[in-house]
Amino acid sequence: MTGDAVKAKNGAMVAYDGRMTFKKMTGGGDGLRGMVTRRLTGEQMEVMEVKGHGTCYFADRASEINLVRLHGEKLYVEASNLLCTDAALRTGTTFTGLRGASQGNGLFTTTVEGSGQAAIVSDGPAVVLRVTKQYPLQVDPGAYVAHTGDLKQHFQSGVNFRTFIGEGSGESFQIRFEGEGLVYVQPSERNTVGGEL
């Protein structure tokens, strides 16, 4: 950093050189309104602002880190998968409906928008999958990390008679993405409410 700032998950700094200041930010960096929104939505995220001159290193439980460059678009990411962002990027929350509930993450997810970089973490190297109008994508809710672009999400159930008699695949619910954009998935599944019936 050369006098600029980043917003990072509290406790994510593992080392730095140069001169840095660290300040806890109220409401996930969005002030009082952001704090109230996050409390109401359950999309909690403790954030600090790091400013200074030098290099600051961030990590979270040895997770893989993926840099996503935004050019005025919006990134939708699970709060637990967001490591840090350029300070100029705005964060907020958006309604995800049953998708979030199936993951055990609640009905809302974090949004990051503007121009700059965001660092997202995944359990193993993230796979970036392109969605087009001709090729929609189904994703296991436990493997979903983030997405960008003009995508519509539908929560769909693979529950049928075979599932109830124990002959199902174990993949009871999926998220279907349609439109144009990118979806980030991890090669590992979180424990989810919808993973098993």
pLDDT classification of 191: cutoffs 50, 70, 90: low
Cα-based torsion angle of the residue sequence 79, 146, 70, 38 in order, rounded to the nearest 10 degrees:
-30
In the chain, what's the furthest Cα-to-Cα distance? 62
What's the CA gap between 92 and 184, in Å, rounded? Answer: 19
What's the CA gap between 152 and 178, in Å, rounded? Answer: 5
Over residues 112-157, the pLDDT tens digits come to 999 999 999 999 999 999 999 999 999 998 899 999 999 998 877 7
Cα 1 versus chain centre, distance: 24
**pLDDT of 159 over the 90 cut:** no
In DSSP terms, which residues pair with 177 in a beta bridge? 137, 153
**pLDDT of 39 over the 70 cut:** no
CATH superfamily of this structure's domain 2-185: Mitochondrial biogenesis AIM24 (3.60.160.10)
On whether the CB atoms of residues 18 and 51 are closer than 8 A, the answer is no
Consecutive H or E run containing 99: helix 98-103
DSSP reduced 3-state for 36:
helix
Over residues 68-81, the pLDDT tens digits come to 999 999 999 988 89
What's the CA gap between 18 and 83, in Å, rounded? Answer: 21
Q: What is the structure's pLDDT at 128?
A: 96
